[in-house]
Amino acid sequence: MASIALAPARPLMPVLAALSLAHFLNDVLQSTIPAIYPLIKDAYHLDFARIGLITLAFQVTSSLLQPLLGHLTDRRPWPYAMVAGMGSTLLGLIALAFAASYGMVLIAAALVGLGSAVFHPEATRMARHAAAGCQGLAQGVFQVGGHAGYALGPVLAAAVVVPRGQASLAWFSCVALLAMALMSWTATRYAALRREQAARATERKRPLQNTLSVGRITAAMAVLV
């Protein structure tokens, strides 16, 4: 009876919807970087090798930093990490809009990528906590926003940036500010959820110990990667 009473009744759909929308806004901004490569190539007279270095700067921060940042927030959760990450994306967009040199373009791309690296681990954790056991549904709702954002971002870049020039990237700061406001609300709700779950945990019996070996866990993670 106690376990039934302590279990959440249903997924927190407002939180999941907010996370999906935040994922959408984040990935709209992320996808503008490769979409404006032709504009950057002409503006700075770049060859394809230097365009590739922009991708490298973006991907090193957006992808390779995610496990490290996820590990750090596992040890010390930070609900407002997403807001800080979107702040990095905002700085990167403004820097890219007014970059006076190729080096500044690289720094701007890295800042935008860093925002994505901070966003995804913490947002995924929030989706798991809001799932109430429906992990597949929660992950599906969360991913819909991201894929829609990646689909729409290049279209917006073609409609806004290409005809108006690189400086018009600054207009996307409005999207970043909207995302930061939404992420602040979500983080506040998530912090309250964690407090509720911590209170329930004190009433539960000692959790079951993990019986999987380190080797099996490593093999499973390797397959997923």
* CATH number of the domain residue 52 falls in: 1.20.1250.20
What mean pLDDT do residues 173-185 have?
91
Q: Is residue 6 part of a domain?
A: no
Signed CA dihedral, 213, 214, 217, 220: sign only: negative
Using only the alpha carbons of the chain, give its radius of gyration.
20
| 105 contacts: CB under 8 Å, gap ≥ 6 | 40, 44, 54, 96, 99
Give the global pTM.
0.80
- With pLDDT > 90 as the criterion, what percentage of the chain qualifies? 44
| Residue 205 pLDDT greater than 60, yes or no | no
Q: Is the pLDDT of residue 164 over 50?
A: yes
Q: How much is the pLDDT for 3?
A: 39
Q: Is 181 within the bounds of a domain?
A: yes
In a domain? residue 217: no
Structure-model confidence comparison of residues 133 and 199, the more confident one: 133
Helical segments of 131-213, H only: 135-156, 162-164, 173-201
Q: Can you give the pLDDT at residue 108?
A: 95
Q: How confident is the model at residue 191 (pLDDT cuts 50, 70, 90)?
A: confident
Give a yes or no: residue 115 inside a domain. Answer: yes
Residue type at position 151? A
Q: How many whole angstroms separate alpha carbon 29 and alpha carbon 32?
A: 5
- Average pLDDT over the chain, rounded to whole? 84
Residue 149 has pLDDT above 50, yes or no: yes
Q: Tell me whether residue 209 is in a domain.
A: no
Domain count, the chain: 1
Kindly state whether residue 215 falls inside one of the protein's structural domains. Answer: no
| pLDDT higher than threshold 60 for residue 9 | no
Burial class (CB in 10 A: 0-12, 13-18, 19+), 62: buried
Domain annotation covers residue 28 = yes
Local confidence band at 69 (pLDDT 50, 70, 90 cut-offs):
confident
Residue 165 resides in a domain: yes
Distance CA 16, CA 136 (A): 12
User: Where in the sequence is the domain holding 119, given as residue range(s)?
Assistant: 12-195
The CA angle 190-192-197, to the nearest 5 degrees, is 90
